[in-house]
Chain A
Amino acid sequence: MSHTRSLSALAILAALFATPVSAKTLVYCSEGSPENFYPGINTTGTSFDANSQIYSRIVDFERGTTNVVPGLAEKWDISKDGTVYTFHLRKGVKWHSNANFKPTRDLNADDIMFMFERQWKPDNPYFKVTSSNHSYFNDMGMPKLLKSVEKVDAYTVKVTLNAPEAPFLSDLAMEYAGVQSKEYADAMLKAGTPEKIDQEPIGSGPFYLVQYQKDAIIRYKAFPQFWGGKAKIDDLIFSITPDASVRWAKLQKGECHVMPYPNPADLDAMRKDPNVTVLEQPGLNIGYLAYNTTKKPFDDVRVRKALNMAMNKKAIVEAVFLSTGVPATNPIPPTMWSYNKSIKDDPYDPEAAKKLLAEAGYPNGFETDLWAMPVQRPYNPNAKRIAELMQADLAKVGVKAKIVSYEWGEYRKRAQAGEHQMAQLGWTGDNGDPDNFLNTLLGCAAAKSNGSNIAKFCYQPFEDLVQKAKTTSDQAERTKLYEEAQVIFKQQAPWFTIAHSVQLKPVRKEVIGFKLSPFGRHTFYGVDLK
């Protein structure tokens, strides 16, 4: 009897604590808190996810792809020489409002000018507000690329570049180019609280911010006057849950609908759960081991090729990535346009590797360093473990590799300075353009001191192709050039390409229309609930 009573009491307690979930409220168990609500200075995917719901951009990436589609600009013209972009803005785009500010006008060219000038011109009163570190704007080369930005009329903006730049539109579709309200900025400047625009944001995106509590919750509501039409869900909640196992527990219980970054160990259980679908797609990333092509013995292509054949990539990927990575052949991921499918990877063949080393003058191998990042990265779950496996494989062909590591910031700095012989690193794509991999990571300019080209690879035939593609606007032609560049890359072997990590997204079955973003972003416009 008492047992029954206690069970009933527990049932009542459970019923009391259960919370009803509204039909159109989507809960996303995000992994952390955003830095702030100004995408221009954000550097983490977590912050971009929080901000991309609020702000619109001049152009956008089509959901689930890297294709650029109209955003705030409904159309644009590009001059024949590829240096002048004229954007024709949508009319009637409404701004959100909050307790501090009620907009009196629709979005217009002034707001677009403000987006550029705040990040570009040190004399803009907002340049230093919150932070002057406009990281992505600088990284995409905007300060050097932009010649002028002019307001032609209230709904037309003309951007002139110093040189043609094919990826320019893709650059503008990135989150850092989210457009803030100039009218709001002016009002807050006048009130003496300019930083408010980055803390209590006003955007023109599909959702407006209702509440943010650090490390707990971000609450949004669908903006009924959104220029693209109201979102299918009414409320969007980011329930901030840093631990991956806890996110999974919440997803199982129905406390959230979508979760990012699952623990590989939980994947089997996730796939077996009848209420959950695990979406997967190779991410827009690459993990690699770069040979320093300016240092002996790696200045000899035969040595690089030999080492590529000496390491068992399949075994490394299976052991370290488990089911979360696919072996990489090319320096760009297979989901990117211009990926050259015809290229064959170097085979795992230690005997052939030994022969090639002997041919290069190293019949007994040599000694080298092998750098491993001290941290887990999206493209590499365990660099030290990978280094150990590589070390064992290399020992079989007589190459004695010493594993080296530094604190993460120091590691990157030293690798970019070219202090290593072999170093692991990787990249996650920014704008879906092959230039963002092939030029950023393997171009001659990036091979200079402190550039991202840590292989210090500067090979003219490759460079010519990549630079030509950068200034060509015809995508079919660019594709050919990049395909050719990948062939040269494989011949020259500046990297041992390790893997592309697979993006895995457990989603509850009641969620309709969630699409994986190649950039690993999480956007909920267009998503519905059963």
Chain B
Amino acid sequence: MFRFLLTRVSLVIPTFIGITLLVFVLVRLIPGDPIETMAGERGIDPAEHARLVHEYGFDKPVIVQYGLYLARLIHGDLGRSIVTHKTVIEEFTSLFPATVELSLCALAFALLIGIPVGIIAAVRRNSIFDQGIMGLSLTGYSMPIFWWGLLLILLFSVQLGWTPVSGRIAVLYFVEAKTGFLLIDTLLAGDIDAFWSAVSHLILPAIVLGTVPLAVIARMTRSAMLEVLGEDYIRTARAKGLSGFRVVTVHAFRNALIPVVTVIGLQIGVLFTGAILTETIFSWPGVGKWLIDGIARRDYPVLQGGTLLIGSIIMAINLAVDMTYGLINPRIRHQR
């Protein structure tokens, strides 16, 4: 296990350097520099432009800029936003809990519905339920997030008035950010009304963000279960007289979990990508919207730092997912 972990961690280092290089080069390939972009149609005096380019160090050769960036990175310095002039770390840490809260709720939504539905669809293969669910999941998978979000807002918020339109909490609640997770902060503050407000604000964005992972998880669970349900040991278990429920949940499901867990791990990346659009629609103050603004304003430090931090988190999550294989399937544990 330790060797496995060591091998995986050693793979992380080149990936990490690869991300820094890729992002560094890609953001500089976007035409236009941050200072020109800030100027808009007003333009900027060439001497002033040159002075600012020098001040930000953009006049140095790209390789030197990259070297300096790496050197600062080693010291944990991700730089300052060119637009807000706050440190990238400060901005990321203030926005990231919102993205995590939304992503976790979306994932919970996808798992709590996707797995049972996938199992039932497999057990009742070719039934109307199975066909209906698979049709719906294909629709969910193909749904453009932006359109889906606006549709839900118009129906549930504007027409029916059941949920708030956007934001994380009703504007009148003033909850001090202790953890950054509003569900926790509201409870810590002992304000139950604010908690319910935060919950109500999470419903639509979690559904929108969780729709694609839900569809993928449901389909993957179904196909993995179908494969396992045809195995000899399942027939043996049934022959032994075990209840259908036990056969499905204990014998079949545990063995079907490996591909499902892999897909869940991959969905974390999908959740972060989806968060960019979902956050824009629902005015959710997370890192997705922050990165989009970073691109529009050519805010190099934000783009470099933000992508690197998110990339590192996704790598860590996937590493954790790999480690769970051993827990799920003892054979994998022994192979290691």
| Interchain CB contact under 8 A, B157 and A215 | no
Quick one: CB contact mask for A421-451 with B, threshold 8 Å, 1 for yes? 0000111000000000000000000000011
Counting chain B CB atoms within 10 Å of each CB, the highest count among A14, A132, A242 belongs to A242
| Interchain CB contact under 8 A, B165 and A35 | no
Taking the complex as formed, is A408 at the interface, i.e. its CB lies under 8 A from any CB of chain B?
yes
| Interchain CB contact under 8 A, A377 and B171 | no
| Interchain CB contact under 8 A, A253 and B157 | yes
| Interchain CB contact under 8 A, A43 and B38 | yes
Task: Give the contact-size bracket for chain B.
Answer: 35 or more
Taking the complex as formed, is B232 at the interface, i.e. its CB lies under 8 A from any CB of chain A?
no
| Interchain CB contact under 8 A, A410 and B31 | yes
Cα-based distance from A406 to B177 in the complex (angstroms): 43
| Interchain CB contact under 8 A, A199 and B86 | yes
| Interchain CB contact under 8 A, A13 and B162 | yes
Quick one: CB contact mask for A264-290 with B, threshold 8 Å, 1 for yes? 000000000000000000000000000
Q: Could you tell me the distance in whole angstroms from the C-beta of B280 to the nearest C-beta in chain A?
A: 6
Q: Which of A138, A219, A239 contacts B174 (CB 8 A)?
A: A219
Taking the complex as formed, is A21 at the interface, i.e. its CB lies under 8 A from any CB of chain B?
yes
From B31, which residue of chain A is reached at the shortest CB distance? A407
From A131, which residue of chain B is reached at the shortest CB distance? B85
> Which residues of chain B (168-182) have a CB below 8 Å from chain A?
168, 170-174, 177
| Interchain CB contact under 8 A, A249 and B172 | no
Set of chain A residues within 8 Å of B150, measured between Cβ atoms: 245-246
| Interchain CB contact under 8 A, B40 and A14 | no
Q: Could you tell me the distance in whole angstroms from the C-beta of A186 to the nearest C-beta in chain B?
A: 20
Set of chain B residues within 8 Å of A517, measured between Cβ atoms: none
Taking the complex as formed, is B167 at the interface, i.e. its CB lies under 8 A from any CB of chain A?
yes
Set of chain B residues within 8 Å of A410, measured between Cβ atoms: 31-32, 36
Q: Could you tell me the distance in whole angstroms from the C-beta of A355 to the nearest C-beta in chain B?
A: 35
Taking the complex as formed, is B231 at the interface, i.e. its CB lies under 8 A from any CB of chain A?
no
Set of chain A residues within 8 Å of B39, measured between Cβ atoms: 43, 135, 409, 412
Taking the complex as formed, is B244 at the interface, i.e. its CB lies under 8 A from any CB of chain A?
no
Cα-based distance from A22 to B171 in the complex (angstroms): 11
| Interchain CB contact under 8 A, A217 and B41 | no
> Which residues of chain B (59-109) have a CB below 8 Å from chain A?
83-86, 91, 94-95, 98
Task: Give the contact-size bracket for chain A.
Answer: 35 or more
Set of chain B residues within 8 Å of A139, measured between Cβ atoms: 42
Cα-based distance from A135 to B154 in the complex (angstroms): 41
| Interchain CB contact under 8 A, B177 and A237 | no
The answer to whether A427 and B91 touch (CB under 8 A), given A239-B167, A409-B36, is no
Set of chain A residues within 8 Å of B40, measured between Cβ atoms: 43, 412
Set of chain A residues within 8 Å of B168, measured between Cβ atoms: 216
The answer to whether A214 and B171 touch (CB under 8 A), given A246-B283, A250-B165, A377-B41, is no
Q: Which of B33, B83, B158, B163 contacts A409 (CB 8 A)?
A: B33
Q: Which of B41, B48, B84, B177 contacts A35 (CB 8 A)?
A: B84
Cα-based distance from A454 to B31 in the complex (angstroms): 21
> Which residues of chain A (1-28) have a CB below 8 Å from chain B?
10, 13-14, 16-17, 19-22, 25, 27
Set of chain A residues within 8 Å of B199, measured between Cβ atoms: 17
| Interchain CB contact under 8 A, B290 and A246 | no
Set of chain B residues within 8 Å of A255, measured between Cβ atoms: 164-165, 171
Taking the complex as formed, is B200 at the interface, i.e. its CB lies under 8 A from any CB of chain A?
yes
| Interchain CB contact under 8 A, B38 and A216 | no
Taking the complex as formed, is B285 at the interface, i.e. its CB lies under 8 A from any CB of chain A?
yes
| Interchain CB contact under 8 A, B172 and A20 | yes
From B176, which residue of chain A is reached at the shortest CB distance? A211
Set of chain A residues within 8 Å of B166, measured between Cβ atoms: 241, 243, 246, 249-250
Q: Which of B46, B52, B171 contacts A217 (CB 8 A)?
A: B171
Set of chain A residues within 8 Å of B48, measured between Cβ atoms: 133, 138
Cα-based distance from A406 to B32 in the complex (angstroms): 10
From B83, which residue of chain A is reached at the shortest CB distance? A35
Cα-based distance from A43 to B43 in the complex (angstroms): 11
Q: Could you tell me the distance in whole angstroms from the C-beta of A89 to the nearest C-beta in chain B?
A: 30
Set of chain A residues within 8 Å of B285, measured between Cβ atoms: 213-216, 240
> Which residues of chain A (194-218) have a CB below 8 Å from chain B?
195, 198-199, 210-211, 213-217
Q: Could you tell me the distance in whole angstroms from the C-beta of B82 to the nearest C-beta in chain A?
A: 9
| Interchain CB contact under 8 A, A215 and B289 | yes
| Interchain CB contact under 8 A, A452 and B43 | yes
Q: Could you tell me the distance in whole angstroms from the C-beta of A188 to the nearest C-beta in chain B?
A: 15
Taking the complex as formed, is B300 at the interface, i.e. its CB lies under 8 A from any CB of chain A?
no
Q: Could you tell me the distance in whole angstroms from the C-beta of B158 to the nearest C-beta in chain A?
A: 5
Set of chain B residues within 8 Å of A249, measured between Cβ atoms: 153-154, 157-158, 165-166
| Interchain CB contact under 8 A, A17 and B162 | yes
Quick one: CB contact mask for B300-328 with A, threshold 8 Å, 1 for yes? 00000000000000000000000000000
The answer to whether A246 and B170 touch (CB under 8 A), given A135-B39, A213-B285, A252-B158, is no
Q: Could you tell me the distance in whole angstroms from the C-beta of B180 to the nearest C-beta in chain A?
A: 10
Q: Which of A20, A22, A215, A452 contacts B283 (CB 8 A)?
A: A215
Cα-based distance from A290 to B108 in the complex (angstroms): 56
Interface pairs (21), CB distance under 8 Å:
A17-B162, A25-B172, A130-B85, A131-B85, A138-B45, A211-B174, A213-B177, A215-B285, A215-B290, A217-B171, A219-B171, A237-B171, A243-B283, A246-B281, A249-B157, A253-B158, A409-B32, A409-B36, A409-B39, A412-B39, A450-B43
Ranked nearest first, the 6 interchain pairs of A and B with the lowest CB-CB distance are: A409-B36, A409-B32, A407-B31, A215-B285, A216-B285, A17-B200
Task: Name B's A-contacting residues (CB within 8 A).
Answer: 30-33, 35-46, 48, 51-52, 55, 83-86, 91, 94-95, 98, 150, 153-154, 157-158, 161-168, 170-174, 177, 196-197, 199-200, 279-286, 289-290, 293
